[in-house]
Chains A and B, each alone.
Chain A
């Protein structure tokens, strides 16, 4: 019995050592992850659809983020099947409340069976999440510059490089359509941007 107890204690100690605390998600990501449960998104956006990365937008009421939702079918055995965006929302980052949220008309075009850039292949989930967090943090930074709250100090260049390395390649035209003005601003500021839709 003593041997069993010692084994158990040892095993539990080992398990505790193996715990790796993930880095905290960015504030922006935390604000956006509940969007689907808030009206009007709660009735038009499927809980299954992932959200794309948010794109800053200047409005009369201040800085907002525009994001789309797109279906990803499949499971770990078949791999993902990526569809074109099927819903879109404009969100206030301070409250996480969607100001507009709608399902997009038209057929959800089946785009590809690859979701992320090839360079990210082979990453574990944790590492991948870390990269995503970096992009969110940089999005927050570039949004402040775009809104005129901060002076540009290479933020746009840094942002666009990270964005192109992490965002879904087949969805780039859809990101551009979310706010062409922003992407053109990025092009003017950083000398680089994503391709026009």
Chain B
């Protein structure tokens, strides 16, 4: 056969295949525009109520579209209205709630259309929290649907609920992008100002003296303070990414499976990481300049504390709208020697988490603002210095049992299952009553092959804490100032931040725990703190930790000991004898979570 003829035939084939696809579209199908560039249209089996089909050239010649009695084409915006209308038919009361949120989002879209920094996070959180609550009602709404046509009803409810979810997400992403743009601009201005100082230092061979030193030092202090305030905004914007729509959207579908739509949140997180890296570089430069000038400044991030030190009255505006505070613009060099006075009405600063003011007092009544400030110390003793205490008792309740395991291992009579040694690197110190969250951080870090440095893991703990509060996985009223220290994870939500298939065991026997741990997977377990730490001061308390491996008798297959990573004590790969573990486990009701993937 002529090769050219063969090539020509082959080139026709895909076209034919495409054409054959079209053959499956029913003759009365209509094309409905969506406004989404990745899915410009949907094919429906008929026009929605109030519209009639007609033949048009879009998307293909001879395609059928819909228009109303006035001849107006069905628009992407009509699609949402149609979805809401359909939802109202199946569940009028749920529909009212969805419509109300949708209307509020529309108001926000209009109000902040031209705002430099988008919608304030407080308002976005409010919308997102309401969406979250509605999402929790989905199951009830599904349950109330009539048995006949339930499938169609569930799809209609879900599609109707998705309307405000999508809008909120889009609005949130746009706002975060705007805020990051604003931060970037001011960070660049800070860098330029730092360059001036660095040149000044270089001109005086690294050791300016007299007036020059005073002038440069004053300027550096000014920059330092403003950079600290910038850090607050970076943190707030980072939190705002967490409050984006997808969080409320990553819920169950009617068939029970979970959905995680791809959104721009990942890109925003990456952009935020870059912004933070640049910030850290700015911070480093300030420290360098500080060394030369001998001003003895604290790191810029401590500037956050200065912001917190203002009176509540001054902070009110920032609480309502952390993005709406004064834009910090670096002015030309001004020499001001006086140190800022300390405000006697100092807001209480809890390292690790800070909630300032009573949200109910605020004019706009936003939801609670959780503000996570950088910390160096644990949150457990925010007011008083940590008391000097005697050494804690030996956590090993049965030291001879543990010694026996070690001896057997030495003689090769046991086998180590799992990877306790390799997993030690994921251990870090939790901050607050967040053992459930910190333990899941370790599991996620291994699953997703994330860097295992304590700083990243702590940051992830902060992020997941906000997510847990947002999704209702962490108990305690967020208005309570001590939420992070005094709150905790209820059994029902243990493991839910992993967002992966899992088996939750309650009232399980030690044998069941041993069988699960022998698979070598990381297991999320709960045990009595008093038993686990062999310490009466913590008797009957609960603690969540990760089992990273087991020591198993080679002959009998019996689990002799468990290796655990404990973020409460920062113990990595601690060997706990089976007797101690089983007692601690049983004394707490036998809860553990076994990931299935």
User: Which residues of A pack against B, CB within 8 Å?
Assistant: 4, 8, 11-12, 14-15, 18-19, 22, 25, 33-37, 39, 41-51, 71-81, 83, 86-87, 103, 105-108, 110, 113, 115-116, 120, 123-126, 128-129, 132
Contact = CB atoms under 8 A, between A and B. Distances in A.
Nearest to A109: B482
Interface in B500-550: 506-507, 526, 530-531, 533-544
A46 B393 contact: no
A41 B526 CA distance: 16
A29 to B, nearest CB: 9
Nearest to A25: B587
Given A48-B541, A72-B541, A124-B393, A36 B475 contact: no
A50 to B, nearest CB: 4
Given A14-B400, A107-B481, A73 B536 contact: no
Nearest to A46: B488
Given A37-B589, A113-B387, A128-B536, A75 B541 contact: no
Contacts of A18: 398, 400
A75 B404 CA distance: 27
A73 to B, nearest CB: 5
A86 B486 contact: yes
Between B413, B487, B543, B590, the greatest number of chain A beta carbons within 10 A of the residue's beta carbon is seen for B487
A48 B543 contact: yes
A73 B492 contact: no
Categorize the interface residue count of chain B.
35 or more
B488 A49 contact: yes
A81 B536 contact: no
B297 to A, nearest CB: 30
B395 interface: yes
B476 interface: yes
Contacts of B395: 76
Contacts of B507: 34, 37
Given A77-B389, A125-B397, A22 B538 contact: no
B584 to A, nearest CB: 10
Given A76-B395, A125-B535, A103 B475 contact: yes
Contact of A125 (B486, B526, B539): B539
B536 A43 contact: no
A124 B397 CA distance: 10
Given A50-B541, A125-B393, A76 B569 contact: yes
B381 interface: yes
Interface string B325-355: 0000000000000000000000000000000
Contacts of B476: 46, 86, 103, 108
Contacts of B451: none
A33 B591 CA distance: 11
A50 B485 contact: no
Contact of B433 (A22, A48, A105): A48
Nearest to B544: A47
B227 interface: no
Contacts of B381: 78, 81
A48 B380 CA distance: 15
A132 B540 CA distance: 10
Interface string B365-409: 000000000000010110000110100110101101101100110
Nearest to A104: B477
Contact of A124 (B389, B433, B536, B542): B536
Contacts of A49: 488, 541-542
Contact of A71 (B486, B533, B537): B486
Nearest to B479: A107
B493 A128 contact: no
A77 B494 CA distance: 26
